């Protein structure tokens, strides 16, 4: 295992071809795996077998995971689409929203991967000094529940901010504590929840969400349907690692869109009931997800009793704590006391740089627009200004940043110029820097060139020197265009640049081993030949004579759902393949409200089997439709025993 920060120099003598060969060799190296570190900006290169050892160590814990024989996504998709269709019929969602929530017919399997925790003490690693522990992540991108997770989060998110201990970010935290006046005997504490996401009991989590729904009723919110969808997401969270399927049986996984809101709501109920058990309360108590800060005035012995109550409140939720009478680190701040008088003191803050912080900001030789480098430095100075309670704290933070940036190719003159202009604009905005100043939460000075007037027309391209002239030409032509069309004078064109692909995009992957979907055929349905066709819903069966291909014309054919074995008999003068494309289009777009379309929209076309039954090149349209009716009568495929209409 090796870790390093991105290089600070570039080798211009290396040709593009040689660089591409080096990248391909890293991509195809079967013995290593490259991951970003769990904290900080370092890159970790691990031996693949060591990485697999840590992953299997975690996956072998039967409390949280169990191996399964095959993916559950097809069954999960059917359940989700049934509920989604019901939401549409109840008019909670539009047709466009329904199609979005249905998701892809061929969803990607979830993938399990680890972020190495190299910030932990090496002697405490899984294999000391060799294999670090990993933070488990389940990649949910484009899975069967990916869009549903966003829908669930749209309801949980607004509720997760309504508890009294909620913290949005660092600036919200500073806004909360700056006005506080505490007694002189107060001490600061922080509490960290151990492995919160994986330790949330599913049954209690669902009950918590129902309780909060009842507390904040909304007649436009389909509570029962949301809870059903959430339960499916929690209990059917299957994924792959090294070509083996696993199912998470406890907790939720980092990687789901709703996970932070779900965990936040769970913790809000946990702390509400836990704090009710405590005879002594903190002076203040604030929480950002699983990180808690507060102040205590009842002595260290009573505080340990307070922690003991929290640890025994729920068997799977355990806490770790820190206690200090002078200062304590929380988020990216150091909180410390300032004496007001003999009886009272206030809380001040300064920037806290974690030991894992490598200050790996953009290197000056990176391929980015010139204004990007200035914007990065300026944004950091503004952040330091908002956090720092005194000019000395601000100056120390800027000095630490500039020392790191000098090693990354930034000149002293460039940095001094940005510092001077940024602090001058901040003084204009907020007055002279003093011990108690700060910007209001959410405010920020206008950047250079910003304007509030006029509608914006973005010109979107990937950044390249070749496009700079094109952008300037289009902007100039647009200005001349405005002289002839004054009605558009409120509009202005700006350059909106996409990010280029970087080394992380090329080298870091969620998959491990061979990708099961890599060589998967694009057709979701399966064409097959059969000699005997049976309808279990009607108890009728019949022989099929002949051998038919997907290119067969003037044919009677059959569609079958392999999940529930319902049959549909159809006919076409064109090929089976051409008719099938029409069916798939109707199913995907939901244009027709037929039993066939409605069924496969809820069950997906992954379980569709296609087969030919009878064909004759000399059939007329009437003869072909008559043969279709004969097959329908023979197999009894009219609804509800099949998918044909009466």
Q: Is pTM, for the whole model, over 0.85?
A: no
Strand 319-324 vs strand 187-193: parallel, antiparallel, or unpaired? antiparallel
> What is the reported pLDDT for 430?
60
Q: Which runs of E-coded beta strand occur in 56-200?
A: 65-68, 111-116, 134-139, 181-183, 187-193
- Supply the pLDDT for residue 238: 93
Q: Outline which parts of the chain fall under CATH 3.40.1440.10.
A: 526-635
Q: What pLDDT is stored for residue 428 in this prediction? A: 79
- Locate 54 and state its tokens: 């840590």
Task: Give residue 464's Cα distance to chain centre.
Answer: 29
Convert the pLDDT of each residue in 607-617 to its tens digit: 789 999 999 98
Between CA 355 and CA 478 the distance in angstroms is: 50
The matching CATH number, chosen from 1.10.230.10, 3.50.50.60, 3.40.1440.10, 3.40.50.970, for 526-635 is 3.40.1440.10
The low-confidence residues of the chain, meaning pLDDT below 70, are 1-14, 429-454, 513-525
pLDDT tens digits, one per residue of 190-210: 999 988 898 899 999 999 999
d(CA 526, CA 609): 5
Report helix angle 202-215 to 259-276, nearest 10: 80
- Rounded-to-10 torsion of CA 214, 216, 220, 223: -30
Question: What is d(CA 250, CA 267) in angstroms, rounded to the nearest whole number?
Answer: 16
From residue 509, alpha-carbon distances to 142, 287, 521, 620 in Å are 15, 33, 22, 56
For residue 372, give Cα distances in angstroms to 144, 205, 376, 377, 403: 37, 43, 6, 9, 19
Distance between CA 78 and CA 146 in Å, rounded?
15
- pLDDT one-digit tens code per residue, 281-312: 999 999 999 999 999 999 999 999 999 999 99
Predicted pLDDT of residue 433 = 42
pLDDT at 13: 53
Q: Encoding tokens for residue 291?
A: 């990180």
Q: How much is the pLDDT for 61? A: 92
- Measured CA to CA, the distance from residue 379 to residue 444 in angstroms comes to 10
Rounded-to-integer distance, Cα 597 and Cα 18, Å: 53
pLDDT at position 3 is 54
């Amino acid at each position: 295992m090796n870790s390093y920060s991105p290089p600070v120099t570039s080798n211009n003598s290396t040709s593009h071809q040689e660089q591409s060969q080096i990248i391909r060799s890293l991509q195809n190296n079967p013995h290593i795996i490259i991951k970003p570190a769990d904290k900080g900006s370092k890159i970790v290169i691990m031996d693949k077998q060591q990485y697999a050892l840590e992953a299997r160590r975690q996956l072998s814990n039967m409390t949280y995971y169990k191996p399964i024989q095959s993916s559950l996504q097809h069954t999960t998709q059917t359940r989700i689409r049934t509920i989604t269709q019901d939401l549409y019929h109840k008019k909670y969602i539009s047709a466009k929203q329904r199609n979005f929530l249905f998701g892809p017919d061929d969803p990607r399997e979830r993938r399990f991967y680890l972020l190495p925790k190299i910030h932990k003490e090496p002697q405490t690693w899984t294999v000391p000094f060799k294999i670090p522990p990993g933070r488990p992540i389940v990649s949910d991108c484009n899975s069967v529940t990916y869009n549903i997770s966003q829908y669930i989060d749209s309801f949980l998110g607004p509720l997760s901010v309504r508890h009294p201990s909620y913290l949005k970010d660092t600036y919200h935290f500073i806004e909360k504590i700056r006005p506080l006046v505490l007694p002189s005997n107060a001490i600061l504490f922080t509490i960290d929840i151990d492995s919160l996401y994986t330790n949330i009991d599913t049954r209690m989590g669902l009950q918590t969400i129902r309780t909060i729904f009842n507390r904040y009723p909304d007649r436009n919110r389909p509570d029962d349907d949301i809870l059903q969808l959430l339960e499916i997401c929690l209990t059917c969270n299957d994924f792959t690692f090294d070509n083996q399927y696993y199912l998470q049986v406890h907790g939720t996984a980092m990687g789901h869109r709703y996970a932070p809101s779900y965990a936040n709501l769970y913790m809000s109920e946990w702390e509400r009931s836990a704090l009710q058990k405590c005879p002594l309360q903190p002076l203040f108590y604030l929480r950002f997800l699983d990180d808690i800060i507060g102040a205590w005035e009842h002595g260290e012995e009573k505080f340990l009793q307070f922690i003991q109550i929290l640890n025994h409140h729920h068997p799977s939720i355990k806490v770790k704590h820190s206690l200090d009478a002078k200062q304590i680190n929380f988020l990216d701040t150091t909180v410390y006391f300032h004496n007001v008088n003999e009886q009272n003191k206030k809380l001040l803050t300064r920037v806290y740089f974690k030991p894992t912080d490598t200050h790996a900001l953009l290197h000056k030789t990176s391929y980015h627009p010139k204004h990007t480098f200035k914007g990065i430095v300026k944004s950091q100075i503004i952040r330091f200004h908002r956090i720092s309670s005194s000019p000395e704290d601000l100056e120390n933070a800027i000095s630490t940043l500039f020392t790191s940036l000098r090693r990354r190719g930034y000149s002293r003159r460039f940095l001094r110029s940005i510092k001077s202009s940024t602090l001058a604009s901040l003084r204009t905005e907020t007055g002279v820097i003093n011990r108690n100043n700060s910007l209001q939460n959410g405010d920020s000075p206008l950047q250079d060139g910003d304007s509030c007037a006029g509608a914006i027309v973005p010109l979107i391209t990937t950044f390249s020197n070749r496009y700079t002239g094109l952008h300037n030409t289009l902007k100039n032509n647009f200005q001349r265009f405005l002289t002839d069309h004054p009605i558009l004078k409120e509009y202005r064109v700006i350059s909106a640049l996409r990010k280029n692909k970087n080394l992380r995009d090329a080298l870091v992957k969620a998959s491990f081993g061979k990708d099961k979907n890599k060589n998967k055929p694009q057709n979701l349905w399966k064409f097959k030949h059969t000699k005997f066709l049976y309808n279990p819903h009607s108890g009728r069966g019949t022989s099929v004579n002949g051998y038919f291909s997907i290119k067969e014309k003037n044919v009677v054919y059959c569609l079958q759902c392999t999940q529930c074995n319902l049959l549909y008999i159809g006919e076409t003068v064109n090929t089976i393949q051409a008719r099938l494309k029409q069916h798939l289009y109707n199913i995907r777009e939901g244009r027709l409200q037929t039993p066939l379309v409605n069924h496969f929209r809820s069950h997906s076309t992954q379980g569709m089997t296609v087969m030919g039954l009878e064909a004759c090149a000399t059939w007329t349209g009437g003869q072909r439709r008559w043969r279709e009716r004969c097959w329908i009568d023979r197999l009894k495929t009219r609804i509800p025993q099949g998918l044909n209409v009466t």
